[in-house]
Structure formats: structure tokens, C-alpha cells
A and B are shown apart, each in its own frame.
Chain A
Amino acid sequence: MKKPKKFSIQEFDLWYNDFHALKNINMDIPSNMITAFIGPSGCGKSTLIKSLNRMNDLVEGCKISGSVLLDDESIHGNIDVNALRKRVGMVFQKPNPFPMSVYDNIAYAPRTHGIKSKFKLNEIVEQSLQNAAIWDELKDRLKKSALSLSGGQQQRLCIARALSVQPDVLLMDEPTSALDPISTAKIEELVIKLKNDYTIVIVTHNMQQATRISDNTGFFLLGELIEYGDTQQIFSIPRDKKTEDYITGRFG
């Protein structure tokens, strides 16, 4: 059964000043699945993921053309960018908890979006940490500074923070590249669990990771989407020679 599409990217081009970073990207991202973006450094995969919640708006000299539809609605049209980012959460390459307590880190976004009730906030904090599978580790340390946690814990805290506003989509930009193998395994396990409730797009440098967790994979090279399809198929019988060269480690 084909899952409904969450994002539909159509004829999407992006420039950083004169640099043409993304060239005519067309792809649909299905909901409640894990879609992985792979490709060598500078291929545009991070740029594309940051376009999905308009984080590129913050970059000077960034221009786009084409369209990105979220549930059939353009994300560049008549839409509040903050509301968009509430629906499309993001986890970054380097864990970036705010310099405040664990509790305040999670409560930051709900507070931003107007929730004041202490009772409701407590509930959200517990639920988000549960969903990120870190509640048991942190429930006695809610008042401690988030900066005192280990790197792996910080990243799961950041995932919990992204879940705190109940987004539809979770964008993850190389979420495990700064972590040790054990923390990486925990996060991969978590991501697989999360796809029941969220649509997940993950950028990764690690091809084993893409095969382990993703349902679909897109391979990018020099700003172009070379091949996009079922992960099993891409890694076993790639259609494009360049994809084959990359996944067999001939370059990249």
C-alpha cells in the first residue's frame, strides 16, 4: 500500500548567491516513513533538508525557485514560518541544548507557543522525554543544566525538545555524526520507533545507517538528485552508475 505523501518537492532550485546548490529537485516524501538523504559532502542534502522548514531563510544571499508542498500546501505561500517550524521539527548535527535546565529546554517551545499551565508543561516534559526514550535517565535530573549531560543524552534531549510541540515531521541533519556507537545505536532505535507517529527525514553520511533505518533513500551529487527510491533497491540494485560508485565506496 502506498503511503500518502507528506512533502512534495517540485522543480526546486536553490542558490547561495551565485552558487547553484540545488538543481531541479523533484521528489515526494511519504508520511510515517523514514527517508534518508545520502551523498558526499557539499552535495546539497543538508541544504535540501533545511529548505523543508525554511531554515535557509536565515542564510544571507539564499534564493529559491520551485515549490515545496507540505500536505499539499506551499510552505512559501501564505504561511507563518514559525507555525511551519512548529509542524516540522529539526534535530541538528551537533547536539545544541540551550544553556538552561533539562526541564526548561523541553518547556521552551511549548511556552513559546503559549502554554503557561504548570500542570500541562509537566505533562509535556514527561511525555516528550518518554517519547525520546530518555525519561528514565533524566527524571531525577530535570533541574540540572542540560549542558552537564553526555553528548548522546544531549542529542536525545534535543529530539525530545523537537517532539515537545508535537510536530508532524522530524528533520534530522546527521544526528549521530558527533556521537559514539552506543549513543548512535540508541538514537537509531528511537528513530525507528518514532516513525509510527512522525514522518522522518534524515541526512546521513553513514550508509550502513541509511540501510539500517530508512525506508526510502535519495542519493544526491553536486546539487542533483541522482536516484531516489526504496532503500533496499538502491543499495542492492542501483539504477544509476554514479549511485553504485558511491555506495560501493569508489568515491565520496
Chain B
Amino acid sequence: MQRRKPIDLFLFILTWLCIGITVAVLFLVVGYVIINGVMYIRPSLFAVEFTPQNQSLFPALVGTLMIVGLSLVLAVPLGVFSAIYLVEYAKRGSRFVKIVRLTTETLAGIPSIVYGLFGFIFFGVFLGWGLSLLSGAFTVSIMILPLIMRTTEESLKSVPDTYREGSFGLGAGRLRTVMRIILPAATPGILAGVILAVGRIIGETAAIIFTLGNVARVPNSLFDTGRTLSAHMYALANEGTHPGEAHATAAVLLIVVILINALSSWIAKFIKAS
């Protein structure tokens, strides 16, 4: 017993060191962005029209919300219902399920630039949508589809089988069991996946620039081009003339992410309560 003490102490210090470094890195990044950006956050940064003078992030902010909204509308129903099929309807462990799972896992591992290129060629050129909200949203929704399917599958599987037995045992059919019992119980997990997906969309640049484009204006139709906050930052940093505004944009981006997370956990609580 005596001999274990030094190694205990060592592991204790090691774990604390690891968590210390992790937290420090996090604070360093957030702190750096905020310190360098906060003094550039001023009303003109939120002007409706982008001009080279104000470097307004407003069009990009609106573009971000549009892309997030549109791609969730496309991907969430598709992903959730596919996952319901795989978990609740398909024969467990069947060949088909295995193939679908392998495909989604592969899709999840593909670099986003590949999605960008595909989206550009397929939606932009082949379907003739050009650089547009629609091309961007479709591309990004394909990108987040595996993520949503995966997390939905996991949360459906974590719903105890005793709920299913209970419902079937009362003479409820499969559809009713899924809609009334399984899905409500799985909703918090599904929402967690949606939050991850939102994070992925907001953080995306490569695929967005290839499909939505990177023009600083609010899209006036589904077929109009625009930009997102990340793409906006990329443009500012690329030009190198407005590093302050780039940091300010990053700070706003952080706040948007925090707000979206807060909103989703509020929605989750609301659903649980009702």
C-alpha cells in the first residue's frame, strides 16, 4: 500500500495538469478573440449594408441564420426519420442496416472541402442553382445528415425496451409507440445532436464558400448568393486589412453559438415539461 502513494500523487498531478492545460487553452482562445475584438464592436459593424468602410457583419449574420435554418429544415426530418427506420423498423443487425450505417459513417468522415466541391458541381453547375442559399443549404445539410442520424440512432437505442414492451402490450401499433412514447423520450438526445450540427454549420467555411459564395450582402431569394460569419471572417483575414473587425466578428460568432446552445437547452426543457 505504501508503495502506491507516489504513483497516486503523480496521477493526481497529471490529471490536474491535463485539465489545467485544457481550460487554459480554451480561455486563451476565447480571451484572445474577445480582447482583440471587443473594441471593434461598434454600431457600424451591424449596419444593414456592408461597405468597405464599416466592414459590417450584419449580412453575414443574417446569412448564417438563413443557412442554419434552411439546412436544419432539410436535414433534421430526413435524418431523424431515417434513424427511426433503422432502429425501430428495420430488422436489427440486418445487412441493409449495416450498409446504411457504414455509408453514414463514411460520409461523416469526409473532409468538408469534398462536400463543397460536390455541392458546387452538382447543385451549382448541374442543377444550375449557381452560388446560392439553396446550393449552400443543400450541401451543408448533406454534410450534417450523418451526424443527425448517428445521434438520433443512439438516443433511440437508449430508450429502454421496457417502454416498447409496455406500449405494444397495450395493443398500440408501432407508429403510435414511436410517436407517443419513443420519440418524446429520445428528444433531448436528438436535440443534442442538432446542437452539434448547428455548431458544424456555423463553423463551416470551405463548403460554404464553394456553394453559397462569399458576397457580403443579405440574400434576397433562395437563388441569391451571400456569406456566413465564418466565411466573412475568412474574407477579412484573407484581405489582411481589417484584423480588428475579423476578431470582432469572431467574438460575435461566439456569442451566437452560446445563444443557440442556450436556446436549444431551453427548448429541451420546455419539451420535457410538457
Q: Which residues of A contact B167 (CB under 8 A)?
A: 98, 108
Q: Which residues of A contact B74 (CB under 8 A)?
A: none
Contact between B92 and A85, CB atoms less than 8 A apart: no
Q: Which residues of A contact B168 (CB under 8 A)?
A: 55, 58, 85
Can you name the residue of chain A whose Cβ is closest to the Cβ of B172?
Answer: A112
Cα A160 to Cα B145 with chains together (Å): 42
Q: Which residues of A contact B163 (CB under 8 A)?
A: 96, 98-99
Checking B165, B172, B185 against A99 with a beta-carbon cut-off of 8 angstroms, the contacting residue is: B185
Q: Is A53 an interface residue (CB 8 A)?
A: yes
Interface segment, A86-94, A134-142, A227-235?
A86-94
Q: Is B43 an interface residue (CB 8 A)?
A: no
Q: Which residues of B contact A109 (CB under 8 A)?
A: 170-172
Whole-angstrom distance from the CB of B163 to the nearest CB of chain A? 6
Binary contact track A59-93/B, C-beta < 8 Å → 1, others 0: 01000000000000000000000111110011010
A-B contact count (CB 8 A): 65
Number of chain A residues whose Cβ lies closer than 8 Å to a Cβ of chain B: 27
Binary contact track B153-172/A, C-beta < 8 Å → 1, others 0: 00000001011111111111
Contact between B166 and A165, CB atoms less than 8 A apart: no
Contact between B180 and A108, CB atoms less than 8 A apart: yes
Q: Which residues of B contact A98 (CB under 8 A)?
A: 163, 166-167, 181
Checking B91, B172, B185 against A82 with a beta-carbon cut-off of 8 angstroms, the contacting residue is: B172
Whole-angstrom distance from the CB of B172 to the nearest CB of chain A? 5
Number of chain B residues whose Cβ lies closer than 8 Å to a Cβ of chain A: 21
Known contacts A60-B92, A94-B162: A53-B169 contact under CB 8 Å: yes
Q: Which residues of A contact B176 (CB under 8 A)?
A: 112
Can you name the residue of chain B whose Cβ is closest to the Cβ of A81?
Answer: B171
Whole-angstrom distance from the CB of B171 to the nearest CB of chain A? 4
Q: Is A6 an interface residue (CB 8 A)?
A: no
Can you name the residue of chain B whose Cβ is closest to the Cβ of A94?
Answer: B162
Whole-angstrom distance from the CB of B156 to the nearest CB of chain A? 14
Cα A113 to Cα B171 with chains together (Å): 8
Contact between B169 and A89, CB atoms less than 8 A apart: yes
Cα A83 to Cα B165 with chains together (Å): 15
Contact between B166 and A96, CB atoms less than 8 A apart: yes
Q: Is B184 an interface residue (CB 8 A)?
A: yes
Q: Is A156 an interface residue (CB 8 A)?
A: no
Whole-angstrom distance from the CB of A78 to the nearest CB of chain B? 17
Checking B91, B92, B165 against A55 with a beta-carbon cut-off of 8 angstroms, the contacting residue is: B165
Can you name the residue of chain A whose Cβ is closest to the Cβ of B185?
Answer: A99
Beta-carbon contacts under 8 Å, B85-126 to A: 91-93
Beta-carbon contacts under 8 Å, A158-217 to B: 158, 161-162, 164-165
Contact between A90 and B171, CB atoms less than 8 A apart: no
Contact between A92 and B165, CB atoms less than 8 A apart: yes
Cα A9 to Cα B146 with chains together (Å): 48
Contact between A82 and B169, CB atoms less than 8 A apart: no
Q: Is B52 an interface residue (CB 8 A)?
A: no
Contact between A96 and B162, CB atoms less than 8 A apart: yes
Whole-angstrom distance from the CB of A158 to the nearest CB of chain B? 7
Contact between B92 and A83, CB atoms less than 8 A apart: no
Known contacts A96-B162, A96-B163, A108-B180: A60-B169 contact under CB 8 Å: no
Whole-angstrom distance from the CB of B264 to the nearest CB of chain A? 20
Q: Which residues of B contact A82 (CB under 8 A)?
A: 171-173
15 CB-based A-B contacts, threshold 8 Å:
A53-B169, A60-B92, A82-B171, A82-B173, A85-B171, A86-B171, A96-B162, A96-B166, A98-B167, A99-B185, A100-B184, A108-B180, A158-B166, A161-B166, A165-B170
